[in-house]
Amino acid sequence: MHALRKLQQDFLGYLLDDTVVGIVERIESTPRRSAEQRMAFYGNAYKLRLKEALTTDYECLHGYLGDDLFETLMEKYIESYPSHHPSLRYFGQHIAKLVEQQEPFRQLPEVAEIARIELAFGNSFDAADCQCASLEQLAQLDPEAWATLTLRFHGAVQLLPQQYNSFQIWRALSNEEAPPQKTEDETTWLIWRQDLVSQYRALEQAESVALTIALSAGSFADICTALLEYFSEQETPQQAVGYLQRWINDQMVSELNQDQEKKAADCGSF
């Protein structure tokens, strides 16, 4: 059993980085294929499977870069980030990090943003289901509980700060339309899941600030304090309640925490 385990580990090592010495000598040749050809077959098939996963997860990025550049990106990614997870679902999660560091992609900052958009939609789809809070629960809160109220959010909820019009580029590509030219467009986008369907919308700065605080387990009082930068003292509580009601209606909130304990702001990991 030890010898078999060692052979399996060496075989896996050959597939992952092609650095294991002596593995080919332990593989039998056949009348049709030599041991080297058989190992190369498995190695090529493994790499093709990795590329298939990347192409599936980053379809719009592929469309934006074109076949040649995307092939270059996949080769660099496979070399830089070998797969170490049993599921290919998580294999491509570092694409944005790679393109920010590698030429020629680092000269195209919108590429990293498009990659993050596609990763975020994949994460929203895969996030664990949660029981959502209701407006009835909000209405039943004791008045004394509002100041220290914190929210627990569905794991699909994500904020994506963008410096360029990358969402417009992504949207055109997803609709199989010609993408617009890159322009600066500093906007924070929200991605979440409602009725099992991923949703997205651009946020005004005030809501972006409020939601950032809420996602960090900040209290309702913290949100109101921050919103004083955008609204008057009379308008702020009503505006904060309006945001909270919308988040609940959109099935973003899984729990209303009525104590002072600051809990984590998600209900599951990807």
**2 and 62 co-located in one domain:** yes
Residue 267: C-alpha distances to residues 73, 157, 254 (Å): 33, 10, 7
Report the C-alpha gap between 45 and 42 in whole angstroms: 5
Report yes or no: 212 and 159 within 8 Å, Cβ to Cβ.
yes
With vertex at residue 172, the alpha carbon angle to CA 166 and CA 178, rounded to the nearest 5 degrees, is 110
Residue 268 banded pLDDT, cuts 50, 70, 90? very low
**134 and 43 co-located in one domain:** no
How many structural domains comprise the chain? 2
Q: What percent of the chain has pLDDT over 90?
A: 73
**88 and 134 co-located in one domain:** no
Structural domain of residue 230, as residue ranges? 129-263
Residue 264 banded pLDDT, cuts 50, 70, 90? very low
Q: Has this prediction a pTM greater than 0.85?
A: no
Residue 224 banded pLDDT, cuts 50, 70, 90? very high
- What does the pLDDT average to over 46-52? 88
**151 and 92 co-located in one domain:** no
**60 and 8 co-located in one domain:** yes
What length is written for the chain?
A: 270
Residue 269 banded pLDDT, cuts 50, 70, 90? very low
**54 and 153 co-located in one domain:** no
Residue 120 in domain: no
Report the C-alpha gap between 85 and 233 in whole angstroms: 51
- What does the pLDDT average to over 222-234? 97
Report the C-alpha gap between 242 and 237 in whole angstroms: 9
In sequence order, which ranges of the chain are alpha helices (DSSP H)? 2-17, 35-57, 59-65, 67-80, 95-101, 109-126, 135-139, 166-174, 205-215, 220-227, 235-249
**Cis ω before 104 (30° cut-off from 0):** yes
